[in-house]
Amino acid sequence: MYTTGMLQLKIVNASQGQIHEYENTKRKLYRCNTSIYFNKQCLRRRLIPAYAKVKIPNTSPAAKFTQRKSQLLRIKDELKYLHMKKQQLNTKLYHLHLLLANTWNNSWHYIQHTINNKLEMETKSIDQISTANCTT
């Protein structure tokens, strides 16, 4: 059931699965954008995220240089991958949007608005949790 203010839409149709697919794809796109932002901030601030850390037993200057370069390469490769993933998600979202807009006609605007509100509320709650964790 989708609610928009006073209006409640109960969707019982064969394309309900496509609506959920649209919502989940949009959620994945938001997460992908967040990951891109995180990785760019790590590069700007010269920080290495946990997933990119490489352990090299030797502590010589050459080993440290190589370690730093390999970690930066890992982050840059992750950014390339995330941009490709973002492009694919955008394409999928576009095709689903066209399909659902044709299927639901006048109701699609309300459904889309409800999905956007739901995802916005999820994003705000995640931001509040992460802000609370950072300050304590």
The string of pLDDT tens digits covering residues 45-63 is 999 999 999 888 888 999 9
What distance lies between CA 95 and its chain's CA centroid?
18
> How far apart are alpha carbons 104 and 21 in whole angstroms?
15
Which residues form the domain of 122? 2-47+75-130
Residue 20 lies in a domain: yes
68 located within any domain: no
Stretches where the chain sits below pLDDT 70 are 1-15, 126-136
In a domain, 94, yes or no: yes
Sign of CA dihedral 119, 125, 130, 131: positive
Dihedral over Cα of 114, 20, 80, 49: its sign: positive
User: What's the CA gap between 60 and 13, in Å, rounded?
Assistant: 65
Domain count, the chain: 1
66 in any annotated domain:
no
- How far lies 22's CA from each of 26, 27, 29, 87, in Å? 6, 9, 11, 15
pTM for the model stands at 0.77
φ, ψ for residue 9 (rounded to 5)?
-110, 120
